[in-house]
Structure 1
């Protein structure tokens, strides 16, 4: 399969006709898009490789994205993906607005993902005529194909700021709690696509990179909670601290809004008994989250394919024990 044929939608909300919403896809491909390209009329693609490096040719130049890097392909830009072996990953698509850096507020000028670390391609072109080149368009959620007799990558030069770009997640400057409590995951936001409601997002791209934990008198892992956002978690490599056994690289979890969730029983017991000394956590791990203020609906493909794995997911919490007694039992 190439990138287009190996692209499957797991969940989403809204519709591109309304210019509002998002979709979350996964891709799996083994061959390049020979004499074929695609462009997305519906929105912007944020691509998160999990296995295999992607060599992407666009109208504005070429770029490569390997695991622990991301790339964004803007709406309407033609691109082709080439691979050197089996490759897979995740894609976040937004229908309205653009991905942008989050407002840093009291953090100040520097922190999180710094603008200087985002890279755009230099102009590059090829002049190939007399060939049959296939152009695939994603339009209103459907696929269309056209043929032309030349390569679309014949743009000699360009200027502007709506360009493809890539970012190395290793350059993320982590902000963290240094006294007590567990900070909201918004401090790990790399890119956001804001909604029309201030303080909410169509989608946030959040990562959980290696960092130091130093909080005192605190349960350090993510606490048990329900929230008004939909959380799609993925794992690029390593072992996610809150669910070391139930979330594997290349897998994902979806916690819909107001669905209770939190660390599994093993994580709870370890974090509740270990000495609260400075500790480097998530070493050799890169987890991420697509978070949205919209309610995400599962596609038929996502339900049929992923449900085979998710039926036992709830069992990671079944061995949690009560650590309190009611007043009546305490008197006994």
Structure 2
């Protein structure tokens, strides 16, 4: 994180005695990245945070993937993955894997039940709230989240997700950290003037969350022998992990709402890096928000056809009407995968229709990866099978209708 926060009660000097009113010592925990060489926070616990009374394996949901072969662009319909009449789904164990590689996994879930306490020991998570509201309870404190929120949860942060009704979540799980793009930051970590958002837009925990409890189960996703090199373990803790009386530092979960993103526009069409919001190792996250578009008198506002030769491109369409995809069958909750090796761009007619447009009312979250993505079980279940033909005009279409 680019700036320091202090929440609750912490001692004046770090690594010194911090005691309760009755004289008991609190237990200091350093949560830090890159082996004490990057951002960290110090948390002060009432109980020893290392204590485990039991442990057992957690059988993860299906995380197997298959290659996108033969290589084709794909359209997925996430809203078909979950039956609205089904209840009892939580936002951790209920995720269905759409796409993944060695750097990132993209999942989707519609949850109505409280998740187990959870810790991702592999990498940071970015949860995009497509619809609904929830409380993300964390060892640092609570985060109230709702539609359009990105929730950044650092690696190994113990938390659980408590929906308020039904909540739709697009989960981006990294095998690394997720941060603002380096070009947005000063060498000291402050968001710069040309960045499309600033520290005022970020919401962090305001108060510690202290809970009493014993024999608390924490589900841990970690490196192991399962599909994708992943495994799961459940630790039973003798005391509740939410026993932190105070913490301070530059590492903590936070929320950023997509409506606070200030789009960068230009006289002619701006490339995707102008829309970037976060980055991880070997992938970036961009968002396309409602905005004024190009103002050159001969401009074509939709994207030019492009071969992003080093990347796979994944678009999650979550609001408005995405101009370049009209006529392809893509709608709310759709995901398109445009793999490296395939030149892609506007659907037939969109290129011409966009001329003269002054404003686009569209909302989409994009993930570009620098290693090929494979298909998870969620993608295999919702691939429409015809999107690859959607650029073919009229009688040349091999499958007839391309309405998806």
The answer, yes or no, to whether TM exceeds 0.5 is yes
1:31–1:83 CA contact under 8 A, matched in 2? yes
| Residue in structure 2 matched with residue 294 of structure 1 by the alignment | 371
| Residue in structure 1 matched with residue 201 of structure 2 by the alignment | 117
1:114–1:172 CA contact under 8 A, matched in 2? no
> 1:103 offset after TM fit, Å?
0.4
Deviations 1:96-127 (A, max 9, x none): 2442234049x962331223311211232233
Would the alpha carbon gap of residues 104 and 83 (structure 1) be closer, same or farther in structure 2, given more than 3 Å must change? closer
Between the aligned partners of 2:180 and 2:277, the Cα distance in structure 1 is 9
Would the alpha carbon gap of residues 191 and 163 (structure 1) be closer, same or farther in structure 2, given more than 3 Å must change? same
Is the aligned partner of 1:281 residue 2:364?
no
Structure 1 unaligned blocks of 5 or more: 15-20, 196-201, 323-332
2:99–2:379 CA contact under 8 A, matched in 1? no
1:13–1:297 CA contact under 8 A, matched in 2? yes
Between the aligned partners of 1:60 and 1:42, the Cα distance in structure 2 is 19
Q: 96, 103, 110: which one pairs with 1:8? A: 96
Between the aligned partners of 2:144 and 2:211, the Cα distance in structure 1 is 21
Mean CA deviation greater in 107-116 or 228-237: 107-116
The aligned length equals 294
Is the aligned partner of 1:166 residue 2:255?
yes
> 1:302 offset after TM fit, Å?
3.4
> 1:303 offset after TM fit, Å?
4.2
Q: 132, 144, 167: which one pairs with 1:87? A: 167
User: TM-score normalized by structure 2?
Assistant: 0.68
Is the aligned partner of 1:188 residue 2:275?
yes
Would the alpha carbon gap of residues 297 and 215 (structure 1) be closer, same or farther in structure 2, given more than 3 Å must change? same
Between the aligned partners of 2:126 and 2:324, the Cα distance in structure 1 is 25
Q: How does 1:168-317 map to 2 (within 5 A)?
A: 168-178=257-267, 180=268, 182-193=269-280, 195=281, 202-213=282-293, 214-227=295-308, 228-245=310-327, 246-271=329-354, 274=355, 276=356, 279-282=358-361, 285-299=362-376, 301-307=377-383, 309=384, 311-317=385-391
Would the alpha carbon gap of residues 151 and 104 (structure 1) be closer, same or farther in structure 2, given more than 3 Å must change? closer
2:142–2:209 CA contact under 8 A, matched in 1? no
- Higher relative contact order (Cα pairs below 8 Å, separated by 6+ residues): 2
Structure 2 unaligned blocks of 5 or more: 1-88, 186-190, 224-229, 397-404
SS at match of 1:170: helix
Between the aligned partners of 1:59 and 1:10, the Cα distance in structure 2 is 29
Deviations 1:229-269 (A, max 9, x none): 11110022222121135222222111111222111124234
Between the aligned partners of 1:239 and 1:66, the Cα distance in structure 2 is 21
Between the aligned partners of 2:204 and 2:109, the Cα distance in structure 1 is 23
Between the aligned partners of 1:257 and 1:30, the Cα distance in structure 2 is 36
Between the aligned partners of 2:394 and 2:203, the Cα distance in structure 1 is 45
2:133–2:163 CA contact under 8 A, matched in 1? yes
Between the aligned partners of 2:321 and 2:275, the Cα distance in structure 1 is 18
Between the aligned partners of 2:392 and 2:233, the Cα distance in structure 1 is 47
> 1:86 offset after TM fit, Å?
2.1
> 1:149 offset after TM fit, Å?
4.0
| Residue in structure 2 matched with residue 135 of structure 1 by the alignment | 218
More helix per residue:
1
> 1:187 offset after TM fit, Å?
0.3
Between the aligned partners of 1:119 and 1:243, the Cα distance in structure 2 is 33
Between the aligned partners of 1:303 and 1:188, the Cα distance in structure 2 is 26
| Residue in structure 2 matched with residue 157 of structure 1 by the alignment | 246
Mean CA deviation greater in 1-10 or 93-102: 93-102
Between the aligned partners of 1:96 and 1:112, the Cα distance in structure 2 is 23
Deviations 1:108-150 (A, max 9, x none): 62331223311211232233234x4221000122222122343
